[in-house]
Amino acid sequence: MIFRKPLPPTPVLETARLILRPYAERDLDAVQRIFPQWEVVRWLHAGIPWPYPDDGAATNWAQCVEQRAKGEKFFWAITLKGDDALRGRIDLWPFDGEKRDMRGFWLDPALHGQGVMTEAAEAVTEYAFRVLEWPFLYLTNALANRASGRVKEKQGAIPVDVERRDYLSGPADGQIWRLDRDAWLARRG
């Protein structure tokens, strides 16, 4: 089985500017403050409650705890070096043989456009390919979500399909990308 489960505990990953550490209960206040902004959520999946309830972060935390206990997903808090505060999140999970979607992310709008998510995505990809030895990642975003698509482009992912998906903004075309381990490793040298 290529995508072995249960997954190991979420590791700490370090990049030039960031520490990605396991998402923790102490992050909930930051999530409740940063996440419920339309520019953050509009292209996320329609299952997210909106308007975001006061206990939205806590409810999601309970789901994360359950999925972690089963070893189904990794959840990282994105933090800037020297400051432990959560600024965003990046999640990763194995291919289930069906749904071509293996990663999710969002970032505090105050940090958008500085390459932060590409840096986080590269660290998580490195972990998936070098440590877990997954052969590929399927990634997805609403076609209209250019910033998210651009992160995939910058990582060298190839667009492979377009599928109708339900977003908080409503039904829209979703782009599906594939990033292959061999191609990514060759690019990284």
Q: Which is nearer to ligand COA, 128 or 151 (CB)?
A: 151
Q: Is 159 helix (H, G, I), strand (E, B) or coil?
A: strand
Alpha-carbon distances of 146 from 27, 132, 143, rounded to whole Å: 28, 29, 7
Pick from 9, 19, 169: nearest CA to 84: 19
What residues make contact with ligand COA under the rule CB under 6 A? Answer: 40, 43-44, 105-107, 112-118, 141, 145-148, 150-151
Residue with tokens 């309830």: 53
CB 134 within 8 A of CB 181: yes
Q: Which is nearer to ligand COA, 81 or 146 (CB)?
A: 146
Q: Which is nearer to ligand COA, 79 or 148 (CB)?
A: 148
Q: Which is nearer to ligand COA, 7 or 41 (CB)?
A: 41
Least spacing, CB of residue 142 vs ligand COA, in Å:
7
Least spacing, CB of residue 180 vs ligand COA, in Å:
20
Least spacing, CB of residue 79 vs ligand COA, in Å:
14
AA letter at 165? R
Q: Which is nearer to ligand COA, 109 or 135 (CB)?
A: 109
Q: Which is nearer to ligand COA, 106 or 184 (CB)?
A: 106
Least spacing, CB of residue 161 vs ligand COA, in Å:
15
Pick from 101, 84, 81: nearest CA to 157: 101
Give the integer Cα–Cα distance in Å for 134 and 4: 9
Least spacing, CB of residue 124 vs ligand COA, in Å:
12
Residue with tokens 């698509």: 149
Least spacing, CB of residue 116 vs ligand COA, in Å:
4
Give the integer Cα–Cα distance in Å for 118 and 75: 16
